[in-house]
Amino acid sequence: MPHYPDTLLFIDGQWTASGDNRFIDVVNPATEQVIGRVAHAGQPELAAAAAAAQRGFAVWSRMSVFDRYKIMRQAATLLRARVDTIAPIMTMEQGKPVGEARIELLAAADTIDWLAEEGRRAYGRLIPSRAPGVTQAVIRTPVGPVAAFSPWNFPVNQVVRKVGAALATGCSIIVKAAEETPASPAELIRAFADAGVPPGVIGLVYGTPSEISETLIAHPAIRKVTFTGSTAVGKMLAALAGSHMKRATMELGGHGPAIVCADADVELAATTLAAAKFRNAGQVCVSPTRFLVERPVFGRFVERFAALAAAHKVGDGLESDTTMGPMANVRRIDAMESLIADATAKGAEIVTGGHRVGNAGYFFAPTVLSGLTGDMRIMNEEPFGPVALMCPFDTLDQVVTEANRLPYGLAAYAFTGSGRTAARLRDEVRTGMLTVNHLGLALPEVPFGGIGDSGYGSEGGTEALEAYLDTRFFTMREYA
């Protein structure tokens, strides 16, 4: 068994415990055993982190863009070199297969590289003047210290999007990462520190989530808030940020429709969507959830998809033959069982799965349901687990209506052989991201974000930098 380290807070360039020496236990979701501890920040530590972030911003924002770029690129290099050490740590605390953990870490390094490069190109512009001798310029400046809140499903990739964008634009940042998965994001922060990021520029805290969010968002040093998590919590944090007139980026929940038309390559659709559905045990905000399949190919698609689901080897992510690990905590097991019980009581049928696996660990069988109706909770609430909902449709009007029925709009999927159909879905499905005939989401160079109850702002592409920059106008007439 790989060594799992205890995790400390990172404040003003130092790894430290809390003043009252409080810790939180960390549980391995594959065994339900305590494997380590994470330091619990209180008010003194949060105040120290905010003060350090303010000092760090004064240093980092004045550093040349090119010097910031070089430090960030070095952090990416260090992260790549440490992948084989960090990946098992992530698996032990989060559950995903170690191969998926390695992919996440390598993707995080790519994200750092991309954002470092984009930071060098966060240009302002000159505006032609109506009068001679007048200069008109748009200037982009960093917004200030950032408070970032990230979840447990992708412990490093959710943090790196926020840290990378903040550092690339000259902002300092305090990260509140998930207490369930503390050690792997700490190793990400260690790579930045070892690369030469000055003290105070990055802080890392853990503790009571409500206390940390209420304290940091209200703190006068903090000028921007970024959150990834549930829609319910996101709405509360957005309201709190708004009450203090602080900019916010919200990447919230979804209930992704996956549309499969009769003219699609059914085998490609089934294999591609099954891979997306059961990645990270379905604990993915952009996971396809409602599979809307045109009736002539419905039976064939469901049969093939269910076979792929049943073929998964569910087990400890450290085992080489595991293809789907446990869910992250017992709350996810309880939620899955409750949603499936409600659906079956109202007439849904279990095609495969639908049950907990084993007596130890938070394992749940890959699940496929059919016979679904709109009054079932699972058709309206994000399940955030390895369950696929199979629903037939007859017309394009019908499928567009169903895709848009919920207030979410994060990610959608479609498979069709018709360019005309793809264009209509592009224009009429209300979603922040739509990928057709392949999986093309969450790359460093493309926008990542939702609309409606799925949030606002982007954490990918050139758009990722926008929320971390103030746009200012400067104009001057030269003396004659």
User: What is the rounded distance in angstroms from the CA atom of residue 337 to the CA atom of residue 355?
Assistant: 7
Question: Which three-class secondary structure state does DSSP give residue 173?
Answer: strand
Q: Tell me the two tokens of residue 156.
A: 């490093």
- Give the pLDDT of residue 1: 78
- Give the pLDDT of residue 148: 98
- Give the pLDDT of residue 479: 87
pLDDT along the chain (480 residues), means of 10: 95 97 98 98 98 98 98 98 98 98 98 97 96 96 98 98 98 98 98 98 98 98 98 97 97 97 98 98 98 98 98 98 97 97 98 95 98 98 98 98 98 98 98 98 97 96 96 92
- Give the pLDDT of residue 63: 98
Q: Is 187 a catalytic residue?
A: no
Q: Is 391 a catalytic residue?
A: no
Ramachandran angles phi, psi of 416, nearest 5°: -160, 150
- Give the pLDDT of residue 433: 98
Strands (E), 127-217: 134-142, 146-149, 173-176, 202-205
Query: Has this prediction a pTM greater than 0.95?
Result: yes
Domain residue spans of the chain: 9-252+455-473, 256-444
Tell me the fold of 256-444.
Aldehyde Dehydrogenase; Chain A, domain 2 (3.40.309)
CA separation (Å) from 177 to 23, 156, 235, 249, 350? 15, 9, 19, 16, 36
**251, 294, 382, 459: which one is catalytic?**
251
Whether 333 and 364 have beta carbons less than 8 Å apart is answered as: yes
- Give the pLDDT of residue 280: 98
Task: Please report how many Cα atoms fall inside a 13 Å half-sphere around the Cα of residue 58, on the Cβ side.
Answer: 6
Whether 431 and 450 have beta carbons less than 8 Å apart is answered as: yes
**187, 285, 294, 459: which one is catalytic?**
285
- Give the pLDDT of residue 383: 97
User: What is the rounded distance in angstroms from the CA atom of residue 106 to the CA atom of residue 88?
Assistant: 14
- Give the pLDDT of residue 445: 96
The string of DSSP letters for 383-444 reads --SSEEEEEEESSHHHHHHHHTSSS--SEEEEE-S-HHHHHHHHHHS--SEEEESS---S-T
Written out in words, the top-level CATH class of the domain with range 9-252+455-473 is alpha beta
